[in-house]
């Protein structure tokens, strides 16, 4: 594929859709977390690709896209830390991380 | 030349990504995720975002992925259950994501994006990003730092109460 904006958008769509498929089909809680990482990476790649290729304008700096990718990375770090803490505490209580088993949690 | 490097990083990103989604071994999936994240870092650098590429390597590969691999290793004992759901649900998920993928690819290739005619040479970005973070985006920056602190304390509390506090 050529080095152009649509190619990068296709790559990030692939990352997003495979991440979504992972989230939908995994029963392992950590597998679901990996899917979320893929989705977030697709979004970040989109931001950076647009900040590289779009026409610069007077009002906004093109680097804004890269700043938003930085925020995405920070939020991903926070999310993984909390999610793994929850997974480990559930594991120590229920001896499994299969999300189907967590149905017992309601009520 | 640029096209060749782009295609190398593209394959490095996309092929392990399929393995993350389809592998039946969670450890293989975790290590494939490592290669995917590295490929994305290469794409960032190729897009002229040197600072984001380095941050991606440090935070994702050095931090998040290590956490995930530790999580995988600490939860491997006990009964072995299948990693994915059964066939009807899988088919439904495949159709749903397939439709979405086709729609996204059509949108991204058929749209007329206001692309710059002449791409400028990539400039060093760290100084400009620092100016933006402490100028225009100061409030989101502070909120993100508070969020990280809260997540840190929250993660420690959740694990302590369940593992050590009995």
B1-77 to CATH, choices 1.10.3720.10, 3.40.50.12780, 1.20.120.1200, 3.30.420.40: 1.20.120.1200
Report pLDDT for B143.
94
ipTM over the 0.90 cut-off: no
Would the CB atoms of A81 and B155 count as touching at under 8 Å? yes
- Would the CA dihedral through A88, A90, A95, A101 be positive or negative? negative
* Contact criterion met (CB below 8 Å) for B33 and B18: no
Interface of B with A in 12-41 (CB under 8 A): 13-14, 17-18, 20-21, 26, 29-30, 33, 36-37, 40
Three-state secondary structure call for residue A100: coil
Domains annotated on chain A, with CATH = 5-105 (1.10.287.3510)
Domain range annotation of chain B: 1-77, 125-166
Closest to A17 measured CA to CA, from B91, B7, B86, B96: B96
Closest to A80 measured CA to CA, from B23, B39, B37, B54: B37
If 0-12 CB within 10 Å is exposed, 13-18 middle and 19+ buried, where does residue B165 land?
exposed
pLDDT, mean of residues A10-23: 93
Report pLDDT for B78.
59
Least confident window among A21-35, A82-96, B29-43, B125-139: A82-96
Residues of B in contact with A86 (CB under 8 A): 158
Report pLDDT for A26.
87
Confidence of residue A57 (pLDDT cuts 50, 70, 90): low
Q: Is B51 on the interface with A (CB under 8 A)?
A: yes
Token pair 């002229």: residue: B48
The minimum CA-CA distance between B147 and chain A, rounded to whole Å, is 7
Least confident window among A6-15, A70-79, B122-131, B143-152: B122-131
The minimum CA-CA distance between B123 and chain A, rounded to whole Å, is 11
Residues A58, A53: Cα–Cα separation, whole Å = 15
Query: Residue B59 CB: number of other CB atoms within 10 A?
Result: 18
Residues B45, B40: Cα–Cα separation, whole Å = 9
Number of Cα atoms under 13 Å in the Cβ half of residue B43: 33
Query: Which residue would you say has higher pLDDT here, A53 or A94?
Result: A53
Would the CB atoms of B81 and A96 count as touching at under 8 Å? yes
Which structure tokens are listed for B8? 């190398």
Report whether pLDDT(B23) > 90: no
Q: Is B154 on the interface with A (CB under 8 A)?
A: yes
Radius of gyration (C-alpha) of chain A in whole angstroms: 18
Confidence of residue A75 (pLDDT cuts 50, 70, 90): very high
Would the CB atoms of B71 and A84 count as touching at under 8 Å? yes
Tell me what percent of the residues of chain A surpass a pLDDT of 70: 93
């Amino acid at each position: 594929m050529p080095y152009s904006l649509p190619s990068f958008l296709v790559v990030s769509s692939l990352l997003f859709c495979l991440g979504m498929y992972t989230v939908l089909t995994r029963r392992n809680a950590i597998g679901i977390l990996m899917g979320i990482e893929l989705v977030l990476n697709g979004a970040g790649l989109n931001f950076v690709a647009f900040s590289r290729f779009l026409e610069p304008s007077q009002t906004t700096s093109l680097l804004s896209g890269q700043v938003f990718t930085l925020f995405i990375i920070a939020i991903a770090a926070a999310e993984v830390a909390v999610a793994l803490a929850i997974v480990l505490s559930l594991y120590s209580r229920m001896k499994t991380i299969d999300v189907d088993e967590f149905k017992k949690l309601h009520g | 030349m640029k096209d060749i490097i782009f295609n190398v990083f593209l394959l490095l990103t996309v092929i392990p990504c399929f393995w993350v989604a389809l592998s039946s071994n969670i450890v293989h999936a975790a290590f494939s995720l490592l290669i995917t994240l590295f490929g994305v870092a290469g794409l960032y650098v190729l897009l002229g975002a040197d600072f984001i590429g380095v941050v991606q390597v440090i935070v994702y590969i050095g931090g998040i992925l290590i956490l995930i691999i530790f999580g995988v290793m600490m939860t491997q004992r006990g009964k072995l259950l299948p990693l994915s759901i059964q066939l009807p649900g899988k088919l439904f998920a495949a159709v749903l994501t397939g439709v979405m993928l086709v729609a996204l690819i059509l949108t991204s290739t058929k749209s007329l994006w206001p692309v710059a005619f002449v791409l400028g040479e990539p400039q060093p970005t760290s100084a400009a990003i620092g100016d933006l973070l402490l100028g225009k985006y100061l409030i989101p920056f502070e909120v993100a730092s508070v969020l990280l602190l809260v997540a840190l304390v929250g993660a420690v509390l959740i694990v302590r109460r369940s593992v050590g506090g009995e």
